Amino acid sequence: VIGVLAAELVPAAATAGLAPGIGLYHYLLVSAVMFGLGVVGFLSRRNLIIMFLCTELMFQAVGLALIAFGKFHGNHSGEVFVIFVLTIAAAEAALALALVVLLFKRRETLDAQAWSLLKG
Amino acid sequence: MGVMAQSVLLTLAGAAGGGDAGVHPIADAVAGPWWISLIPALPMVAAVVCLFMNFGRVRSKAPAWVVVSLLAAAFGITLLGFQQWNSGDGSPVVVKAWDWIHASWGGGGDGKTFVANVSFYMDGLSWLWMLFVTGLATMIGLYASEYMAGDKGYARFFAAFALFVVSMACLVMGDNLVLLYLGWEGVGLCSYLLIGYFYQKPAAVAAAKKAFIVNRIGDLGLALGIFLIYTTFGTVEYATLFALVGDGHAPVDVAGNAVTGWVTWAIPCLLMLGAFGKSAQLPLYVWLPDAMEGPTPVSALIHAATMVTAGVYLIARMFPMFAGLDGGHFALSIVAWVGTLTALLAATIGMAQFDIKRIMAYSTVSQLGYMFAGLGFLTTTGAAFHVFTHAFFKATLFLACGAVMHGFAGQLDLRKLSGLWSQPGWKIVTLAMFIGCINLAGVPFTAGYFSKDMILAEAFVTPGKAAMGWILLATAGLTAYYTFRVFFRVFVGPVHFEAGDEAHSHGDDDHGHGHGEEHHHDPGQHGDHHHPHFHPHPPGWAINLVLATLAIGSVVAAGTYFIDKDHHGWVGGLLHRSTASYTSPYGHHDAAHAMAVADVVIVPVADAHGGEAVAEAAHAGAGGFLGMDPHKVMYYVSAVVGLIGILTAAFLHGPRGLGGLLIGNRTEAATSRADGLLPMLGPIPKWAQHKWYVDELYHAIIVAPLWVLSNIFHLIDRVLVDGLVNVAGWAPTALAKRMRVTQDGRMHTYATGMGVGLAAVLIVVLVVVWSTGGNG
């Protein structure tokens, strides 16, 4: 499936003035790989800080894809959007780390499994 | 008030414009003095005061004095108003208290109005009823002040007692059918409250419910009748209504259209059903004997003298509907037969009872049967005269029985009491009882004799009613027998008494027959069934005074027969100036007067379809009693029948000696000559004692099927309806039980779920894109 998309997008990338041999496809691939790593990391790790870092990884993957699309379409709104997302992510990172510190103080562990009070 | 009367008159003029100026037996109403409104208002004040005394736990006799004094005042006002009305020209007096219901709707030529005010319509019928209702209520209230003494519910009793008088005044005085219905239901409610007065006694509660439920059937008829009157005539106000139906022309509605068709017999039949329920006629009489569970003053006032005569009042008040609208007298012929058969049936049951209060109850049913028969024979005068005399002598009888019950700790079994005359303190009771008995038995020159004769004679005078006349004549004999059976067993003969159940229950809330402190017994001193220390408790001054007054009243009532002979007695004179005197519009009013006992005669009636005349005009010539004039011969015949009944009672139950008229031979309380002769009749006495199994029959054909049906519905409700509701509650619970395992509270489970969901959506999207060729 991804191959089909790439076949269509690579020639278009050339015309958009990107570096020769590197098209939108490559950026999207990197973005998808980063996102996938983030998801796998989030699901497989139990350390709250690592899980938080994985969400940051997914954030950046999405940001990369947005910039790539923006460049591809010659439209700057993708980049603007990413700048907003980064700003909010910075604030959110501070908040999330503070939460992690508080959670650690309560349980003396960073294991996400320690918090399962909301079960049905 | 003036405005009211004026508007009525205007309506009359508008409505009657189409009719000719024929006979006007029902006079137009005129405005009356405002203080007539005090007749229902004063008892209402008494009821409210007693209610607060009940909440305030008043333990003195204050409630009784409030009620008796205010009822006496109401009686005084009634007398005053009656005097003023009586000296006038006899037109109905209308007094408007306030606007109650005044609704208009629809426009143009189709507009309708509904007016029902709190206003009072006083004609001869209303005055007669109000005179004996307020008068007897005052006397019986005085009696009850002693009778109910020491009971915890003293104030509650008098509150309901006064409310009853208010309701009865509404019923009788109201100038429209809605106010009548309000009073009708009000007396039913008070009857219920007072029958169930001893609410800790299961029999009293059952009797109260029975009275209320049986009355529902009749009240449904009355309600439907009122609805039908409104939809037919467009008004429920007497003054307007009787101008439409009782003004000497063919019945018309407010718009002037002729009223014909099925409503002409349906309206009287529905009203009649209401009357049957309230006045305990076949097939709805079964509640009245059971109503004797209430305190005896209640039995005397409500269930003998006043409330049960409301049915007679209704038919007399609505007589233009029965005799004018219902030209064929279809409803009245049913009324006549039902009254006759009720009189006979109740008398036969009364003969076989041993409870003296029950005997009086069946006697009341029987006498009410006479009144209905009288209405059926078109002698509203006879019926109302019998209501009037019966009110006095039956109240006397009940109150005498109540004094016995009061004095002998609730003992009412005539086999366990004997020789009251010979015991100290019972002379007045015995004499009062004797006067009541001779009235009920129809001994010559008593009030009951004249009033019963008027009905009997009319039965033989009216063509086609002779069979009923014979039945009623036989019933008169039975009446004399069962009445004097009580008298000869209980009031004369050897002294003997056994105390009733209440001798060892002093202080219990469920008994109203406290005996005063001086007669207090220690329950431990005697056994349950023997009362070696029991002393009878002769009545005090209040009971004796009331009994003496009512006994004298019963005697004096006979004298009213000789006043106003033109109209067959004082009562007839009153009835002549009321709606009950309505003569069919197509008749010869003046000619009929000369020959009829009653003001109302059967006259040729124009049939709605063909105008053919029914040849019943030959009133005096057609009827007869063995070829003689019933009006004359009935005086002797009924006297002889009554004396035969009394002598039979003396022979079978009379004590040895003069007390038993020298033909009796009873020497002890429990047995009499009758006991030796009863086996000759086979099982009949037993059947009569069991009230011909009518209660059992009703149970089998009405109660039991309804019980089965209600159980079936209960099962359906339990299984089907409850089942559906329970499934609706159970299904989400069961589903949630399965689903809750996914909610384990762990972040990874949820994240995995999100990831899998996202992947699934992604795959679906890609598949769609793929299958549409990738050009979306």
Q: What is the pLDDT of residues B521-530, one digit of tens each?
A: 444 444 344 4
The torsion angle over the Cα atoms of residues B526, B527, B529 and B535, rounded to 10 degrees, is 0
Q: Quick check: B596 pLDDT over 50?
A: no
To the nearest whole number, what is the mean pLDDT of chain B?
A: 83
- Chain A CB contacts of B774 under 8 Å are 4, 8
| Contact across the interface for B774 and A4, Cβ inside 8 Å | yes
| Contact across the interface for B742 and A120, Cβ inside 8 Å | yes
Residue B727 distance to chain A (closest CA, Å) = 23
- For a pLDDT cut of 70, what percent of chain B falls above it? 86
List the single range of A54-58, B619-623, B737-741 with lowest mean pLDDT.
Answer: B619-623
pLDDT at B677: 82
Q: Quick check: A11 pLDDT over 80?
A: no
Q: Give the A:B interface size as CB pairs under 8 Å.
A: 37
Contact yes or no for B298/B194 (Cβ under 8 A): yes
| Contact across the interface for A46 and B741, Cβ inside 8 Å | no
List of residues 6+ apart from B592 with CB closer than 8 A:
B583, B601, B603, B619
Instruction: Write out the residues of chain B at the interface with chain A, using a CB-CB cutoff of 8 A.
Output: 739-748, 751-752, 755, 766, 770, 774
Looking at mean pLDDT, say which of B49-58, B157-166, B528-537 comes out highest. Answer: B157-166
With CA atoms as reference, the chain B residue closest to A5 would be: B774
Residue A58 distance to chain B (closest CA, Å) = 13
- Chain B CB contacts of A1 under 8 Å are 766, 770
pLDDT at B108: 65
CA separation for the pair A76, B21 (Å, rounded): 106
pLDDT band at A9 (very low <50, low <70, confident <90, very high): low
Instruction: Give contacts of A 62-91 with B, CB under 8 A.
Output: none
Q: Quick check: B109 pLDDT over 50?
A: yes
pLDDT band at B623 (very low <50, low <70, confident <90, very high): low
- Chain B CB contacts of A113 under 8 Å are 746, 748
- Chain B CB contacts of A8 under 8 Å are 774
pLDDT at B415: 87
| Per-residue pLDDT tens digits for B354-409 | 999 999 999 999 999 999 999 998 888 899 999 999 999 999 999 999 999 988 88
| Contact across the interface for B740 and A42, Cβ inside 8 Å | no
| Contact across the interface for A120 and B770, Cβ inside 8 Å | no
Q: Quick check: B520 pLDDT over 70?
A: no
Q: What is the mean pLDDT of residues B588-592?
A: 34
List of residues 6+ apart from B294 with CB closer than 8 A:
B194, B195, B196, B197, B198, B204, B207, B208, B302, B303
Q: Quick check: A91 pLDDT over 70?
A: yes
- Chain A CB contacts of B743 under 8 Å are 118-120
pLDDT at B152: 87
- Chain B CB contacts of A46 under 8 Å are 748
| Contact across the interface for B746 and A116, Cβ inside 8 Å | yes
List the single range of A66-80, B59-73, B653-667 with lowest mean pLDDT.
Answer: B653-667
pLDDT at B436: 94
pLDDT at B615: 33
CB-closest option in B745, B755, B770 to A117: B745
- Chain B CB contacts of A58 under 8 Å are none
| Per-residue pLDDT tens digits for B694-743 | 888 998 998 899 999 999 999 999 999 999 999 999 999 999 888 888 88
Contact yes or no for B415/B354 (Cβ under 8 A): yes
CA distances B60 to B57, B65, B406, B534, B690, Å, are 9, 10, 19, 27, 42
| Per-residue pLDDT tens digits for B402-432 | 999 988 888 888 888 888 888 888 999 999 9
Residue B740 distance to chain A (closest CA, Å) = 5
Residue A66 distance to chain B (closest CA, Å) = 18
Q: Are strands B496-497 and B30-31 parallel, antiparallel or unpaired?
A: unpaired
With CA atoms as reference, the chain A residue closest to B736 would be: A120
- For a pLDDT cut of 90, what percent of chain B falls above it? 47
**In a 10 Å sphere around its CB, with 0-12 CB exposed, 13-18 middle and 19+ buried, how is residue B695 labelled?**
middle
- Chain A CB contacts of B751 under 8 Å are 42-43
| Contact across the interface for B743 and A119, Cβ inside 8 Å | yes
Count Cβ atoms below 10 Å from residue B732 Cβ, excluding itself: 10
Q: Quick check: B207 pLDDT over 70?
A: yes
Residue B726 distance to chain A (closest CA, Å) = 24
| Per-residue pLDDT tens digits for B327-346 | 778 899 999 999 999 999 99
- Chain A CB contacts of B735 under 8 Å are none
Distance of CA B237 to the CA centre of its chain: 23
Residue A117 distance to chain B (closest CA, Å) = 6
- Chain A CB contacts of B770 under 8 Å are 1, 4
Q: Quick check: A120 pLDDT over 90?
A: no
Q: What is the mean pLDDT of residues B544-568?
A: 89
The amino acid occupying position B538 is: P
| Contact across the interface for B747 and A39, Cβ inside 8 Å | no
- A111 in contact with B at a CB cutoff of 8 Å? no
Closest listed residue to residue B185, CA positions, set B65, B293, B310: B310
Residue B730 distance to chain A (closest CA, Å) = 18
CA separation for the pair B175, B180 (Å, rounded): 8
Q: What is the mean pLDDT of residues B431-456?
A: 92
| Contact across the interface for A113 and B748, Cβ inside 8 Å | yes
Q: What is the mean pLDDT of residues B244-272?
A: 85
Closest listed residue to residue B323, CA positions, set B380, B239, B256: B380
- Chain B CB contacts of A112 under 8 Å are 746-748
| Contact across the interface for B748 and A112, Cβ inside 8 Å | yes
Residue B725 distance to chain A (closest CA, Å) = 26
Contact yes or no for B442/B479 (Cβ under 8 A): yes
pLDDT at A116: 83
CA separation for the pair A94, A32 (Å, rounded): 26
| Contact across the interface for A43 and B748, Cβ inside 8 Å | yes
Contact yes or no for B78/B172 (Cβ under 8 A): no
Contact yes or no for B484/B442 (Cβ under 8 A): no
- A3 in contact with B at a CB cutoff of 8 Å? no
B113 — phi, psi (to 5°)? -130, 150
Question: Which of B740, B743, B746 has the most A C-beta neighbours within 10 Å, making it the best mutation to test the interface with A?
Answer: B746
pLDDT at A17: 52
To the nearest whole number, what is the mean pLDDT of chain A?
A: 84
Complex confidence, ipTM = 0.78
Q: Quick check: B601 pLDDT over 90?
A: no
- Chain B CB contacts of A117 under 8 Å are 745
| Contact across the interface for B774 and A43, Cβ inside 8 Å | no
pLDDT band at B504 (very low <50, low <70, confident <90, very high): very low
DSSP character for B108? G
Contact yes or no for B123/B94 (Cβ under 8 A): no
